[in-house]
């Protein structure tokens, strides 16, 4: 037996390249946010991404953590937080949520890849708990999205007055014209981003499909398949379930190693999302199911890791081989 130094699990793609693919996949929902909310969306997205990047970098310097590349995951988390926010969010609220996510949901665990919870979802949840963003006046996407007086100060009354149009067209729903989240409701554009990630092998199609299918079955079963303004397409957009299905369920750090557990977790996320969406505010259906599954991931990994290494099972595209699980080589390498 030949002994080799760590790491013992090898990938065809490095972490920076994976993060870069995810960043590219986030462009379509960002485009939707900018299209419907204009300058305000640009400011919030850039503010959130820059804050997360700077916060992570400062902490890395303070703890003397050696990083050979800029952590693109910081930008990704910042963008994800922004896309899950309403357009009339205060910049201070964004600041508080991003810093909390960076420090207490990511860096306290050791940085990217070692966190227990998805940092973006934790940051968004913290904003909700502290500031009750769900109590903001509803902001509708509208035509006066490039008005300069919404650039820095965007009270709910101001934006609501400018964007009072009611959209009921199916196509507009799928493009993200649903009040609530700036970009997490753009079902069709998020789907394009998901297809991109699947084509490059960053995520598997099984888990996103399981989440969406489970959500749809529960929703139709409970509502009887109503097709008015609370129909399935509207629910998929308003709940943000497609967003988490693509960008959160397959997160390498917070999802189970074993593909079987990961698939089961995806089904449960879809079911819980539908139930919570039908009972309470959409923001809770966006956050709680995934965070609960994140909490269960260490338990699932505890029962599966040693067995996977011993039996040579495939884990996220890697074949676990070798004597007593001593080493693992990537499939096809």
Grade residue 333 by pLDDT with cuts at 50, 70 and 90: very low
3-state class of 206 per DSSP? helix
Average pLDDT for the chain: 79
Which H or E run contains 144?
Answer: none
Q: Please tell me the CATH code under which domain 15-330 is placed.
A: 1.10.3430
In angstroms, the CA 40 to CA 139 distance is 12
pLDDT for 281 equals 82
CA distance 180 to 237: 10
DSSP 1-12: ----PSP----S
pTM: 0.81
Rounded to whole angstroms, the Cα distance separating 286 from 288 reads 6
Q: What is the pLDDT of residues 151-179, one digit of tens each?
A: 544 444 444 434 443 445 666 767 767 77
Average pLDDT over residues 251-257: 86
């Amino acid at each position: 037996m030949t002994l080799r130094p760590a790491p013992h699990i090898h990938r065809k793609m490095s972490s920076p390249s994976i993060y870069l693919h995810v960043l590219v996949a986030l462009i379509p929902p960002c485009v939707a946010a900018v299209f419907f909310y204009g300058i305000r969306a640009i400011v919030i997205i850039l503010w959130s991404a820059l804050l997360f990047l700077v916060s992570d970098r400062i902490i890395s310097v303070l703890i003397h953590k050696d990083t050979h590349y800029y952590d693109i995951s910081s930008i990704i988390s910042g963008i994800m937080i922004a896309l899950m926010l309403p357009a009339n969010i205060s910049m201070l609220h964004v600041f508080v949520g991003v810093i909390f996510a960076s420090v207490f949901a990511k860096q306290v665990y050791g940085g990217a890849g070692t966190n227990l919870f998805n940092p973006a979802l934790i940051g968004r949840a913290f904003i909700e708990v502290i500031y009750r963003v769900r109590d903001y006046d509803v902001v509708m996407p509208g035509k006066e999205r490039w008005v300069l007086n919404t650039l820095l100060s965007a009270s709910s009354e101001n934006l609501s007055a400018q964007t009072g149009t009611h959209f009921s067209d199916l196509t507009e729903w799928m493009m993200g014209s649903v009040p609530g989240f700036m970009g997490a409701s753009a079902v069709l554009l998020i789907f394009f981003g998901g297809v991109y990630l699947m084509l490059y092998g960053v995520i598997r199609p099984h888990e996103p499909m399981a989440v969406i299918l489970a959500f749809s079955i529960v929703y139709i079963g409970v509502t009887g398949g109503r097709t008015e303004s609370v129909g399935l397409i509207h629910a998929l957009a308003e709940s943000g379930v497609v967003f988490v299905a693509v960008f959160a369920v397959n997160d390498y750090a917070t999802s189970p190693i074993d593909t079987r557990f990961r698939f089961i977790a995806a089904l449960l996320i879809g079911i819980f999302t539908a139930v919570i969406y039908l009972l309470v505010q959409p923001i809770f259906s966006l956050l709680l199911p995934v965070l609960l599954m994140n909490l269960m991931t260490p338990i699932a990994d505890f029962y599966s890791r040693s067995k996977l290494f011993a039996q040579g099972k495939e884990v996220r595209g890697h074949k676990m081989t070798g004597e007593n699980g001593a080493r693992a080589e990537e499939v096809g390498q």
